[in-house]
């Protein structure tokens, strides 16, 4: 586990850490300021892809598909543009509401989905996840889906994510 500035770590390999990783978990603050949106950029995800092993998995926090749907689907589209096969998912988090993540991999998605559907969760001591919930987190209501042509890829040279996030439907 590495706790470091994500952009710097991805760009600047350190000899004490492996060059390639099997799992990259990117848990970031929401892109509620322009300075934070750089960590959701095409260039950042391309860097992550370059640091991921061939059969590795990357997951990033991706805001809410309900409250900030354009931001959520922008993150998913940006990861796809970076070369990942993506699998968006969401679940209810008591402190956040309906919250989403995007999984990225170079593996074919049918292999990933099969592994997830056959995962034996009974041997793990999980408080909030069971087999049924694991299958349901990949389902989105039609109201939460948007046409991907309505969102742009977010890049360092064409930043759009902060604007999409600000357009969110937050409750007062």
Catalytic residues: 27
For the record, the structure tokens of 152 come out as 């742009």
Least Cα distance to 89 among 105, 20, 81 occurs for 105
**HSE-up of 161 (CA within 13 Å, CB side)?**
28
For the record, the structure tokens of 165 come out as 């996030």
Least Cα distance to 104 among 149, 154, 47, 65 occurs for 47
CA angle (121, 124, 128) in 5-degree steps: 75
């Amino acid at each position: 586990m590495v706790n470091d500035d994500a952009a710097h770590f991805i760009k600047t390999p350190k000899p004490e850490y492996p060059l390639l990783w099997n799992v990259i978990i990117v848990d970031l603050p929401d892109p509620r300021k322009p300075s934070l949106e750089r960590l959701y950029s095409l260039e950042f995800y391309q860097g992550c892809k370059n640091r991921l092993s061939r059969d590795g998995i990357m997951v990033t926090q991706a805001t809410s598909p309900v409250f900030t749907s354009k931001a959520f689907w922008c993150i998913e589209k940006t990861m796809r543009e970076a070369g990942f096969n993506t699998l968006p998912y969401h679940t209810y988090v008591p402190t956040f509401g309906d919250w989403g993540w995007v999984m990225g991999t170079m593996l074919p998605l049918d292999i990933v989905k099969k592994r997830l559907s056959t995962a034996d969760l009974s041997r793990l001591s999980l408080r909030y996840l069971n087999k049924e919930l694991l299958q349901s987190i990949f389902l989105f209501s039609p109201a939460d889906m948007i046409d991907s042509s309505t969102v742009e890829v977010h890049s360092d040279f064409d930043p759009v994510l902060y604007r999409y996030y600000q357009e969110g439907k937050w409750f007062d």
